[in-house]
Amino acid sequence: MTLMDMFRLDGKVAIVTGASSGLGVAFAEGCAQAGADVVLAARRIEKLGETAELVTSAGTRALTVQTDVTDPEQCRVMVDRAMAEFGRVDVLVNNAGVGTAVPATRETPEEFRAVVDINLHGSYWAAQACAGVMTPGSAIVNISSILGLTTAGLPQAAYSASKAAIVGLTRDLAQQWGSRKGIRVNAIAPGFFKSEMTDQYQPGYLESLTGRFILPRMGDPAELAATLVWLASPAAGYVTGQTIAVDGGVTIT
Residues labelled as active-site residues: 159
Which phi and psi angles does 154 have, rounded to 5°?
-110, 150
**CA 212, 161, 189, 22 torsion-angle sign:** negative
One-letter amino acid at 211 equals G
* Residue 178, CA atoms < 13 Å, CB-side half-sphere: 15
- By C-alpha distance, which of 162, 78, 169 is closest to 114? 162
Neighbouring C-beta atoms of residue 135, cutoff 10 Å: 11
- By C-alpha distance, which of 159, 244, 248 is closest to 212? 248
Q: In what order do the strands lie in the sheet with 37-42?
A: 62-66, 37-42, 13-17, 91-94, 139-143, 184-190, 243-246
Alpha-carbon gap, residue 202 to 20, rounded angstroms: 24
Residues with Cβ within 8 Å of 159's Cβ and at least 6 positions away in sequence, in order, are 98, 99, 100, 101, 115, 119, 145, 147
